[in-house]
Amino acid sequence: MNLLVTGGAGFIGSHFTLRHRAQHPKDHIVVLDKLTYAADKAFLDPIIDTITFVEGDIADQPLAMRLVEEHAIDAIVDFAAETHVDKSIRETAPFLHTNVLGVQSLIEVCKAHPKILYLHVSTDEVYGGLKDGAPACTPESPLHPGNPYSASKAAGDLLILAAVRTYGIRARITRCTNNYGPHQADEKFIPTVVRCALKGEPVPVYGKGKQKRDWLYVTDHTDATEIVLHKGEDGEIYLISADQERENIETAQAVLDVLHKPHDLLSFVEDRLGHDWRYALDSRSTKKLGWKPQVSFEEGLKKTVEWYEKKFI
């Protein structure tokens, strides 16, 4: 198979690319990445001689078109995105550029090449925050995005679903819960806890830290992506979750425990505007394809913290 992986130098995309290379040595992989602040091309160093790496923007439609034609691409696996909620609240335009116009650019490529499979990686955040006790979201649940990031991701999802119906493009969408693991940008929650704790600085926690998130180790997400790529059905939405909800404060405390740092480093700060309370996904659609999470929170967190300790010390 010839794959175009967008955002392959970012957090989740780099893990997907490294694992796909190991599991499918004969596949040709083209990575297209704009190399924003969230990317590090060095993540791909171990395999860089075996892939084609192109620095560029998914919204550059002529570039995307040229790549799929030159490399006879069979499938696009799309991790390229602006992803940080706080940044989207401060400045929304880059989110619309990549998460909406970038998606439309890839749709145009698929319209011109209808055999290409477009696997678009999306997020649980498109459903918006849930109350405690509310049932987990299903692929059919209505979208209620609560911030500019999730609204831009929802827009991308809807454009893809409309293109499936209107033009008959081949597309599959995945929506996953919070990921953690090595390679995540320093600004995100778990890297921030590790960085501050190692410096002995206050660890910022929004509000009272009671919001709930369902953390999935990053390679469990990329394994689910692989299964959807190989066994999923066109036009379907696949939900991916660990079914292990935790309050943010519990997650921060667990990180401090791995580092043997005191819990009183936690410092409550003014809550994020429009902060979603809780996300929960019903992942039966993906489990039916034969996927299940492999990495426990304890094991994954240990690996994650060790990686950031090496990075930050």
Ligand X SMILES: NC(=O)c1ccc[n+]([C@@H]2O[C@H](COP(=O)([O-])OP(=O)(O)OC[C@H]3O[C@@H](n4cnc5c(N)ncnc54)[C@H](O)[C@@H]3O)[C@@H](O)[C@H]2O)c1
- The CA distance from 152 to 98, in Å, is 9
Cβ proximity to ligand X: between 125 and 164 the closer is 125
Task: Pick the piece of the chain touching ligand X (CB under 6 A) from 6-14, 136-144, 192-200, 293-301.
Answer: 6-14
Cα(123)–Cα(150) distance, integer angstroms: 8
For residue 179, the SS3 value is strand
State which residue, 175 or 261, has the beta carbon closest to ligand X. 175
DSSP state of 99: I
Interacting positions 259-288 with ligand X (CB under 6 A): none
| Binding-residue pattern over the window 94 to 123 for ligand X, x denoting contact by CB under 6 A | ----x---x------------------x-x
85 binds ligand X (CB under 6 A): no
Return the structure tokens found at 231.
């066994």
The residues that bridge with 269 in the sheet, in sequence order, are 206
149 is catalytic: yes
The strand pairing partners of 74, in sequence order, are none
Is 153 a binding residue for ligand X by CB under 6 A? The answer is yes
- The nearer residue to ligand X, 12 or 169, going by C-beta atoms, is 12
Closest CB to ligand X among 141 and 202?
Answer: 141
CB contact at 8 A, 255 and 197: yes
Take residue 113 and report the two structure tokens written for it.
């090449």
Please confirm, yes or no, whether 124 is among the known catalytic residues.
yes
Per the residue annotation, which of 125, 220, 223, 276 is the catalytic one?
125
What are the residues facing 204 on neighbouring strands?
267
Chain-centroid distance of CA 232 in Å reads 18
Binding site for ligand X (CB under 6 A): 6-7, 9-13, 32-36, 38-39, 57-59, 79-83, 98, 102, 121, 123, 153, 176, 178-179, 185
